[in-house]
Amino acid sequence: MAKKPTGESDEIRLKNKIATQATDEKKLSGDPAARSLRKRLKRVQRKRRALSLRKKHAAGKQVEGKA
């Protein structure tokens, strides 16, 4: 069976994890776990931006003219 989706998105969950680690530890630069979390967050953000751009291009020029 599949997992039930949570109320928050991956992006919000990753931001919260990074924020809690930032308050717990001041030296985040050398922490590999924190680095991987930041990389995952950037990957999710890139994916979201690419999806919105694809949708915008797929909508065509009519939507761009109306907006």
pLDDT tens digits for 11-52?
899 999 888 887 766 555 678 888 999 999 999 999 999 999
Query: Is the pLDDT at 5 greater than 80, yes or no?
Result: no
Domain boundaries, the chain: 33-67
DSSP states along the chain: -PPPPPSS-HHHHHHHHHHHHHHH-S--TT-HHHHHHHHHHHHHHHHHHHHHHHHHHHH-HHHHHH-
pTM score, whole prediction: 0.66
